[in-house]
């Protein structure tokens, strides 16, 4: 397979390096286009107000001074001579589950692959510091090979999350849906040395509503979560009831 590999933690990140090594070892062709620095929580942003510069770090590995979405666009339209069979993003240092996928630069790279018509896979590690990225990369390669066959060329997005703990204790791969995070963000207010207030968005580790069948529940129980995503944000459940609201008097 021909793989376009990116991430949001930067071209030097351990998770990206592990994925590249695993795909190469399995005999796949890997083309890396990744941000030159940390771009976590950059979501699906795209750089339109300045040119993008790139640097070839080593053969087949390019660093771009932009977002993960920029990287996928530059890779597909600028650098790769042939379209990739699969776009892979990660392995992110930290999980991307539930509503957090909307902040994630890792998942956004997969969104961009999907928009460009290529099956895409995003992978994230629950334990950002002690996670076994090498073992996870081996699993991603196996999932990618199966995903390609399953997708049959149609664009899909798979969001994969690995649990904490040693890889020997990881449970099986489970197909899940996105769960719901319990709101826990905190806004820290402090005063800087010049007497001006500043704010820092932070908070403790998030907690989740661990309903059965969700990514949160699976990862919490030590399993590997695979969630199929799409980009149609239409609220199907509200279509009918909204259409029943009398909007005839609302006009310009």
What residue ranges bind Mn ion (CB under 5 A)?
8-9, 40, 92
Report the nearest approach of Mn ion to the CB of residue 202 (Å).
Answer: 16
Helix 14-25 to helix 133-151 angle, to the nearest 10 degrees? 60
- Judged by beta carbon, residue 9 or residue 215, the one nearer Mn ion is 9
Report the nearest approach of Mn ion to the CB of residue 35 (Å).
Answer: 10
- Judged by beta carbon, residue 75 or residue 90, the one nearer Mn ion is 90
Report the nearest approach of Mn ion to the CB of residue 201 (Å).
Answer: 16
Reduced to 3 states (helix: H, G, I; strand: E, B; else coil), residue 170 is coil
Report the nearest approach of Mn ion to the CB of residue 195 (Å).
Answer: 34
- Judged by beta carbon, residue 40 or residue 43, the one nearer Mn ion is 40
Residue whose Cβ sits closest to Mn ion: 40
Contacts of 14 (CB under 8 A, 6+ apart): 93, 133
Report the nearest approach of Mn ion to the CB of residue 203 (Å).
Answer: 17
- Judged by beta carbon, residue 8 or residue 215, the one nearer Mn ion is 8
First CA to last CA distance, the chain:
54
Contacts of 79 (CB under 8 A, 6+ apart): 31, 33, 62
Report the nearest approach of Mn ion to the CB of residue 25 (Å).
Answer: 24
- Separation in Å, CA 5 to CA 46, 94, 110, 141, 170: 17, 18, 10, 12, 25
Given strand 2-6, what is the order of strands in its sheet? 54-58, 61-64, 29-35, 2-6, 86-93, 120-125, 157-162, 224-229, 173-175
- Judged by beta carbon, residue 6 or residue 28, the one nearer Mn ion is 6
- Judged by beta carbon, residue 13 or residue 156, the one nearer Mn ion is 13
Contacts of 126 (CB under 8 A, 6+ apart): 94, 95, 161, 162, 163, 164, 219
- Judged by beta carbon, residue 63 or residue 151, the one nearer Mn ion is 63
- Alpha-carbon gap, residue 128 to 105, rounded angstroms: 15
Report the nearest approach of Mn ion to the CB of residue 92 (Å).
Answer: 4
């Amino acid at each position: 397979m021909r793989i376009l590999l990116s991430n949001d933690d930067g071209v030097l990140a351990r998770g990206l390096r592990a994925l590249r090594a695993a795909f190469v070892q399995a005999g796949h062709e890997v083309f890396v286009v990744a941000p030159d620095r940390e771009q976590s929580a950059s979501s699906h942003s795209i750089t339109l107000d300045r040119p993008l510069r790139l640097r070839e770090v080593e053969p087949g590995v390019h660093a771009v001074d932009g977002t993960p979405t920029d990287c996928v666009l530059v890779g597909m339209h600028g650098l790769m001579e042939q379209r990739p069979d699969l776009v892979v993003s990660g392995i992110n240092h930290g999980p991307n589950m539930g509503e957090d996928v909307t902040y994630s630069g890792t998942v956004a790279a997969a969104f961009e692959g999907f928009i460009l018509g290529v099956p895409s896979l995003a992978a994230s590690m629950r334990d950002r510091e002690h996670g076994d990225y090498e073992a996870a990369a081996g699993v991603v390669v196996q999932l990618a090979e199966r995903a390609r066959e399953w997708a049959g060329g149609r664009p899909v997005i798979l969001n994969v999350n690995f649990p904490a703990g040693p890889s020997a204790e990881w449970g099986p791969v489970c197909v899940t849906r996105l769960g719901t995070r319990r709101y826990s963000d905190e806004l820290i207010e402090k005063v800087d040395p010049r007497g001006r207030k500043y704010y820092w968005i932070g908070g403790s580790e998030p907690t989740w509503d661990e309903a059965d069948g969700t990514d949160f529940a699976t990862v919490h129980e030590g399993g590997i979560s695979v969630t199929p995503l799409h980009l149609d944000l239409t609220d199907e459940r509200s279509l009918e009831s909204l259409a029943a609201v009398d909007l005839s008097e609302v006009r310009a």
